[in-house]
Structure 1
Amino acid sequence: MQSNPAPESLADIVIPVYYHVVYANQTFDGGYLSNQNVQDAFNLLVTGFQNTGFTFQLEEVRRHFNPTWFNEVGISDPWPIEWDMKHSTRVGGPRTLNIWSILISHISLRKISNDGYAQFPWNYATNPDSDGVTMKYTVFPGNGHPTRSGKTLIHEAGHWLGLYHTFEGNSCFGNNDFVDDTPAQAFPTDGCPFGLDTCPQPGADPISNYMNYSFDSCLTEFTPGQINRMLNQYQQFRA
């Protein structure tokens, strides 16, 4: 692991957000989210980043009727389709967070998680059109899912701001997530097994950390080291 020097100021950085609802038809199963669904997802995002130095401002909800985008982005590797969607709809520069909600089919081959994915900040310079977070459209509070009720958006925004998984590398040794105060973790967490310790180094697995794969019900925090890393990554690549 590697330390991240504390930034000079913890004053709130306001990140403008554009939420793109991509849909195949005007039903929930077709991806059509209400303004309340989006607001609930956004409110949870804001809550997850309290006391981090970051706050978010929802600038606009934009809706895009495109069954091809909704159904095919995020599965296998249809990059031309994804590029078309993001190039056609993305708003702002490196400091603006664009979120797209799509189907992200269960047959996804590209991603470890079927719930969402994000682009790291250091990739903006070479791939500005693809910058942002792509979410499964059902990721919002009150969706009825037993284990995923919306906090995946907090997790993906953490990636967008430069965080790796707490279990990065699936190893007890090495730099892993480049943050000193997240204990070493040998593999992703499933459920909420508090006290689980998969590595010999001090500290149990960070079950409650947003950058783990624990159930939403036990995800509650970023560490000070993660907060410093996000602020430094933002200042280096997005400010």
Structure 2
Amino acid sequence: MKLFFAYTLLTASMMSRPNEAHVLRGHEHRHLEEETALHHPMICGTRDPTEQDIQQMVYVMETFENSTRRHLALNDDETIVINTVFHVIKNSNGDGPTPEMIQRQIDVINYDFAPHFQFNVTVQEVVNDSWFRLRFNRANEFEMKMNLRQGGAETLNVYIARANGLGWATFPSDYQSFPEMDGVVVQDLTLPGGSAPLGFDMGGTLTHEIGHALGLYHTFHGGCNGGGIYANNDKVSDVAAEESPAFGCPIGRDTCPGQGSDPIHNPMDYTADSCKVGFTPGQFKRMRNHWHAFRAGNTADSKSLGYPCTEQGLESKSCQAVEGLVGFGLKCCGGVCKFCAL
């Protein structure tokens, strides 16, 4: 239903304003990309993954899925339910998203991540003029998160405010070093019914940022330096490489010859919400693996596995170095393991 609605919106817009419609081909498409980069420099503020992030990711994909939790991480029929808190920030004038926009956003993420993930959302409305005008990596972001964040790594905290970027998120591996900053921020104008520019107004920004929070990179990360699971692009074998982010919906775009058409319909690109179709099986696999490796509550995992292991049991173990994984190791109890910093 969402995809049909998205297609209808795009078509209606183009028919009603034919003189303003961009034909996203050739120089006109390049012009849109240049204008977008100039006037909207922070579509996504999520940091680029470091070499250490990539080492961890490779370790998770190669080793963690072959551990005693393999049957959990690779169960295609598993639906992971994530307890989620929407912190809806409004100012004293009442500016901010309506309840209808919030509900539509919840519907969007549950659709986009089905059937592998489901979000059990609690909505908390907060009136704070300083936090409403949220600034990336500035004092009001730190203050807001320190005061509002709930739960542990297994709880997804989403902050919705009039931010100075469309959105940003933290990677799963960031939690151990900076638990207070964990979570996702999205600009309220990106929610369905909002007025964010360039077609980012149907709720796809939150889908994109949750993808980061579950371990996904941008489709254009690393450019054309090969495809495949251990190459320098998104590190997912069923996502084609692309040289740079795409905007609008440039059908047929191919910036990396010989590696397939650019993944413009993927949520982790920068194309308009109406252009997005969904995640690939490889991306879902990686998100499941990262959920179990970095975010799942260890007590819950132990119960599912039938092992007599608790969080206290894990904490009592020393952090054992893993060859090739700089700065990180594992602590295990009863067959359940989690990453730890050395």
Into which bin does the TM-score normalised by the smaller protein fall? 0.7 to 0.9
Q: TM-score, normalised by structure 1?
A: 0.87
Is 1:161 aligned to residue 218 of structure 2? Answer: no
2:117 matched to which residue of 1?
54
**C-alpha distance in 1, partners of 2:253/2:217?**
20
Q: Secondary structure at the match of 2:232?
A: coil
Runs of at least 4 residues off by over 4 Å: 1-6
Contact 1:4 1:179 in 2 (8 A): no
Give the deviation of 1:201 after TM superposition: 3.0
1:82-231 matches, within 5 Å, as 82-105=141-164, 114-145=165-196, 147-148=199-200, 149-173=202-226, 174-231=231-288
1:41 matched to which residue of 2?
105
Contact 1:16 1:95 in 2 (8 A): yes
Contact 2:83 2:154 in 1 (8 A): yes
**C-alpha distance in 2, partners of 1:202/1:131?**
35
Q: Percent identical across equivalent pairs? A: 38
**C-alpha distance in 1, partners of 2:134/2:194?**
22
**C-alpha distance in 2, partners of 1:129/1:201?**
43
Give the deviation of 1:126 after TM superposition: 0.8
Contact 2:189 2:195 in 1 (8 A): no
Give the deviation of 1:68 after TM superposition: 1.1
Q: Secondary structure at the match of 1:155?
A: helix
Letter of the 1:54 counterpart = F
Contact 1:197 1:203 in 2 (8 A): yes
Give the deviation of 1:88 after TM superposition: 0.6
Deviations 1:191-216 (A, max 9, x none): 11111110023310001000010111
1:110 matched to which residue of 2?
none
**C-alpha distance in 2, partners of 1:24/1:104?**
12
Comparing 19-28 with 126-135, greater Cα deviation is found at: 19-28
Larger radius of gyration: 2
Contact 1:73 1:81 in 2 (8 A): yes
**C-alpha distance in 1, partners of 2:134/2:85?**
21
**C-alpha distance in 2, partners of 1:99/1:216?**
19
Structure 2: stretches of 5+ with no match in the other structure: 1-53, 66-72, 297-342
Give 1 or 2: higher helix fraction. 2
Q: Secondary structure at the match of 1:135?
A: strand
2:327 matched to which residue of 1?
none
Q: Secondary structure at the match of 1:169?
A: coil
Is 1:8 aligned to residue 74 of structure 2? Answer: yes
Contact 2:249 2:264 in 1 (8 A): yes
Give the deviation of 1:23 after TM superposition: 1.6
Give the deviation of 1:35 after TM superposition: 2.1
**C-alpha distance in 1, partners of 2:214/2:266?**
15
Letter of the 1:57 counterpart = N
1:108 matched to which residue of 2?
none
Pairwise CA RMSD of aligned residues?
A: 2.0
Q: Secondary structure at the match of 1:138?
A: helix
Deviations 1:116-142 (A, max 9, x none): 000100000111111110010112112
Contact 2:225 2:232 in 1 (8 A): no
Deviations 1:82-127 (A, max 9, x none): 111101101111111111111113xxxxxxxx21000100000111
**C-alpha distance in 1, partners of 2:169/2:141?**
13
Give the deviation of 1:178 after TM superposition: 1.1
Q: Secondary structure at the match of 2:222?
A: helix
Q: TM-score, normalised by structure 2?
A: 0.62
Contact 1:22 1:102 in 2 (8 A): yes
Is 1:238 aligned to residue 295 of structure 2? Answer: yes
Give the deviation of 1:144 after TM superposition: 4.7
